[in-house]
Structure 1
Amino acid sequence: MPKIIGGSLSEHREQTRNKLFAALTALMADRGFHAISLADIAAAAGIGRTAVYNHFPDKESLLLAFITHETEQWVASLERALAGVDDPVEKLRTYVRQHAQLKRVFHLAPGPDLRSVISAETGRRLREHAEPVEEILREILADGIASGAFAAQPVDTTVLLVNACLASRGVPDGGAGREAAIAATEAFVLRAVGVSSLG
């Protein structure tokens, strides 16, 4: 019987998943998703290859679980940051700033674009993970348009455009230019939705 990590089976499962997530992240950044196997991930995590199958049947299932976990964590963080913020302009500023905190290892990974090396079903399910984030932005935009803070515009199209802008890697992960890049991105998005004064 494999050794249990942590004080209970549920702790063991959570810690094992976290080790696998960390290994996936590191290997993705180093080689890209296309160039790694579930056995590579298990070895990097220090987990027996057969034990991994108790958690994930294949590497795409692991990828989905990781992205779902990261999205849930980020949505919770975004909702905390937005709590008590009433002004739509400040809400959108907060959204932009929180977006800069997102992990982007899958966008930065070497090799082919992730969407070109996963199955259509995994691609569809990855797309679903963005829906809670899009819904938050949709509500911010709708409130801003209703209050007159933002120009009248098609909300669904604007959600896609704003998120495409924020996913473009215009904000570096660190360094001296990070804050300036976040401020410039924030100003660009606010102007794009029709905020007349950025004060």
Structure 2
Amino acid sequence: MPRISAGSLEEHRVDLRRRVFDAFAELVGERGYDATSMAAIAERAGIGRTAIYHHFPDKAAVVVAFAGHETDRYVARLREVLGATDDPVERLRTYVRHHLAADEEFHLGLGPRLVGMLSTEARQEIRAHVGAVEEVLRSILIDGVASGTMVVEDVEGTLPLIHACLGPRHLPPRTIESFVLRAVGAAGPGHAVR
């Protein structure tokens, strides 16, 4: 029977998953995905080489669980910062700013190359997690259209376009924000880009 390193079994699981995710993020950052093994993750996380398999059957399962964990943290923080205003334009501005700033804190950039190495099932599981972030943006756009502060003909088509705009890290955040707001007709008289 494995040793429990916390006050309860649930606390032990939460702690173990946190250590595995931290180890995974560090190792992929240092070595890349291909050079990161389950044994290396276990060693860095301070757990037994075989114990990791009781929680994650393979490296793809670590990636999927990691993506879910990071997305949950990201969405919780995003909802918190968006709670400061009901104005859809200000919420979109906040969404864009948060996304651009949070890249340093959250490890959401698994990247298409890494995701492309995963099985179809694993990619679909990760895609389901991304849907939680899209749902936040979808509600902002729908509210903006309903309030007349945004002009969006195709909300579903606009979601990936906005997210594509948030990808280039070599552009100034203000340029990206201005472009996104103008793209949805939100940079009108009462909502100047600042």
Range with greater deviation from structure 2 (98-107 or 124-133) = 98-107
Amino acid at match of 1:65: A
Deviation at 1:45, TM superposition (A): 1.2
Alignment match, 1:69: 69
Q: Which has the higher contact order (CA 8 A, sep 6+)?
A: 1
User: Is the CA contact (8 Å cut-off) linking 1:28 and 1:105 kept in structure 2?
Assistant: no
CA apart distance, 1:50? 0.8
Is residue 184 of structure 2 the alignment partner of residue 193 of structure 1? yes
Structure 1 runs of 4+ with >6 Å offset = none
Aligned partner letter, 1:24: F
Whichever residue aligns with residue 188 of structure 1, its letter is F
2:175 is matched with 184
Task: Give the 5 Å matches for 1:146-161.
Answer: 146-161=146-161
2:13 aligned residue: 13
Q: Which moves more between the two structures, 95-104 or 17-26?
A: 95-104
> What is the root-mean-square deviation of aligned Cα atoms in Å?
1.9
1:105 CA drift (Å): 6.2
- In the TM superposition, what whole-angstrom CA distance separates every residue of 1:44-63 from its partner, at most 9, and x where no partner exists? 11211111111111111111
Residue deviations 1:24-61 (CA, integer Å, cap 9, x gap): 00011112212211111111112111111111111111
Please give the TM-score of this superposition, normalised by the length of structure 2: 0.88
**When the two structures are superposed, what TM-score results if normalisation uses the length of structure 1?**
0.86
Q: Which residue of 2 aligns with 1:48?
A: 48
Per the alignment, residue 163 of structure 1 pairs with 163
Structure 1 residues without counterparts, runs of 5 or longer: 172-180
Give the fraction of aligned pairs with identical amino acids, expressed as a percent.
47
CA shift at 1:84, angstroms? 4.4
Q: SS of the counterpart of 2:54?
A: coil
Partner of 1:177: none
Partner of residue 119, structure 1: 119
> How far apart are the structure 2 equivalents of 1:56 and 1:133?
25
